[in-house]
Structure 1
Amino acid sequence: MKLFKLIICFFVIVLSLFSAIVVYGQQNQTEWIPKFIESFEMTDSNFKFYNIKSSVLIEKDIDIDELEGICVGIARNLGYNADELCLKKQKTEIYVNYNDKNTGISIVGVKKNSKEFYIIVDILNNKVYKNIENIYDKLENELKKYSNDVNINICIAGEYTKKLKNTKISDILQKILYNMYAEKIDDIEEENFLSVNAYSKLLKENNLKYLDREMNLNIGIRYSEDDDRTMIYMATPIIKIDY
């Protein structure tokens, strides 16, 4: 009887440890996002929008109707109602869109051949940014249903209602790099424009090859003389919007 109880206790402990590991892994899936948001807030800029761009290659034999179902399903699981979506179907492509004044989503499904399909998702939100982690996790989980090789870029943008002095720009960059445990790799500087590429220890899952090195953090600052405003962009691994 004692042996039986010991065996039961052993299995309970093992199962508990396994459950704890799984939960810990899920909780730390995007543990860098709160730090990413915190670093953006340290810039003291006015939030303008965030953008999430993602893509996945599905290596499976499906038809265009199944691809449509996948694209619509992704939108619905991200919180969009099917009757609000704009759907366009072509012979080898599916387009699913939704836009209002605060948010928008675009999902494109492309049939490359009989066994290869691409899905590209583009999300834009200009109202709130506190929900980035939730949207990112949902999107990643949706795309990982079809492949483990999921590419996601996230960018958050802020605005200053004036031109920033060089000392202020330097201070902003140092705050971001320090808070993200990041090292600058290089920068590109032109008149009224600066782009900084860096490597952060927190963003290893987002690594991208650049100049024979790994990078995963991109910071862009641009001043517009037309409206006397400065925009700042923080992205991982790279800024994928025109700025």
Structure 2
Amino acid sequence: MRKLILALILLISLFFIYAPAASIFQEEYSNNSDDSLLIEAFKVSKAQLVEVNSNNTLHLSDEFFTLAEMNHVLASILKALKIEGQQHIIDNQGYYEPLDYETLQKYDDNTIIVRVNSEIGYNQITATAIDDIGKATTIILYSVDTSSIKESYIIIDIVHNKGYKDIVETNNISNEVLSKYGDDIENTMSIVGCYLGKKFFENSSVILDDIGSFLNAKKIENVSDISYNSTTLYSPMLTKAISYQNKKVNLQLATRYNEYEDKTYLWIATPLIVSTY
């Protein structure tokens, strides 16, 4: 169970990687949602879409969910997201990947894998479902109550790999259902694309500059090597930003060349890339 807790702590920490030094700003002007703007910015790149990952995380301090309460919340989220299917329950499994494609492939498309872990002062339910168009949804409900900490998280993580369909609407629904339980919600979104060949990596500075220009973004930091290029920026067109080292940031762009696949990968994320690239 300790490995499972450590894995979840790592997952949560990725979502809040800059939280200790960050504060959130809400810009007063925006004619479009951040999700829509990120999609339009990706189109500027002319890259082939690999996947879109959206994550909405609610933090609840001084609150502990029983398993019964977690099941009630899970049912509400599944209903809101229109996820239907037979639930396959796995109790007290050891370490597992929340999005385990190998396990999911053993079941029909309409099966929802629900993993339940519980000990004194600790409850977790992880539900995963993949629909017939390849959209993978993972819902994590996590609660801990010890002598030093009492808190809960509700996480809705969605991966699309078949296009942009319903991304903005699904994110809006996720935020709406989470807001029923609290208002400390963090949102991240990243889009991954690719190009065939290394020449696109060699020209990646131009690609990243074009995306940044589309979003009227100012460069804050750039890190590059022989195989990757990463730029952190601030765009006034995006509605939220984090403050890190006294500077506002809300956009990260990166490219990496994979010599084994002979592909150049592109990441566009707000506010930051939280996955390994």
TM-score range, shorter chain: 0.7 to 0.9
| Counterpart-to-counterpart distance in 1, 2:173 and 2:199 | 36
Alpha-carbon deviation of 1:29?
9.1
Alpha-carbon deviation of 1:30?
5.6
TM-score, normalized by length of structure 2? 0.72
Deviates more, 1:153-162 or 1:94-103: 94-103
| Counterpart-to-counterpart distance in 1, 2:130 and 2:165 | 20
Q: Is the 8 A contact 1:49 1:129 kept in 2?
A: no
Q: 1:159-238 residue pairs with structure 2 within 5 A?
A: 159-165=194-200, 168-205=203-240, 207-238=241-272
| Counterpart-to-counterpart distance in 2, 1:61 and 1:39 | 40
What residue number does 1:88 align with?
115
Among 37, 40, 44, the residue aligned to 1:38? 40
Higher RCO by CA contacts (8 Å cutoff, separation 6 or greater): 2
Q: 1:8-157 residue pairs with structure 2 within 5 A?
A: 31-59=33-61, 60=63, 62-83=65-86, 84-91=111-118, 92-99=123-130, 102-113=134-145, 116-157=151-192
Alpha-carbon deviation of 1:43?
0.3
| Counterpart-to-counterpart distance in 1, 2:116 and 2:202 | 52
| Counterpart-to-counterpart distance in 2, 1:224 and 1:190 | 13
Instruction: Describe the SS at the equivalent of 1:116.
Output: strand
For the aligned residue pairs, the C-alpha RMSD in angstroms reads 2.1
Alpha-carbon deviation of 1:180?
0.8
Instruction: Describe the SS at the equivalent of 1:181.
Output: coil
| Counterpart-to-counterpart distance in 1, 2:265 and 2:184 | 32
* The structure with more helix, counted as a fraction of residues: 1
Describe the superposition over 1:119-158 as per-residue Cα deviations: whole angstroms up to 9, x where unpaired: 1222111001142211111111111111111001100111
What residue number does 2:22 align with?
none
In the alignment, structure 2 segments of 5+ residues that lack a partner are 1-29, 87-110
Letter in 2 for 1:229: K
Q: Is the 8 A contact 1:46 1:160 kept in 2?
A: yes
Change over 3 Å in CA distance of 1:127–1:222 after alignment to 2: same
Alpha-carbon deviation of 1:226?
0.7
Q: Is the 8 A contact 1:53 1:122 kept in 2?
A: yes
Alpha-carbon deviation of 1:98?
1.1
In the alignment, structure 1 segments of 5+ residues that lack a partner are 1-27
Q: Is the 8 A contact 2:33 2:239 kept in 1?
A: no
| Counterpart-to-counterpart distance in 2, 1:29 and 1:96 | 35
Q: Is the 8 A contact 1:30 1:133 kept in 2?
A: no
Pair member with larger Rg = 1
* Percent identity for Structure 1 against Structure 2: 25
Describe the superposition over 1:76-127 as per-residue Cα deviations: whole angstroms up to 9, x where unpaired: 3112114231112222111111135712111111112296321122211100
Letter in 2 for 1:69: H
Describe the superposition over 1:51-98 as per-residue Cα deviations: whole angstroms up to 9, x where unpaired: 012211235464221112212321331121142311122221111111
What residue number does 1:25 align with?
none
How many pairs does the alignment contain?
215
TM-score, normalized by length of structure 1? 0.81
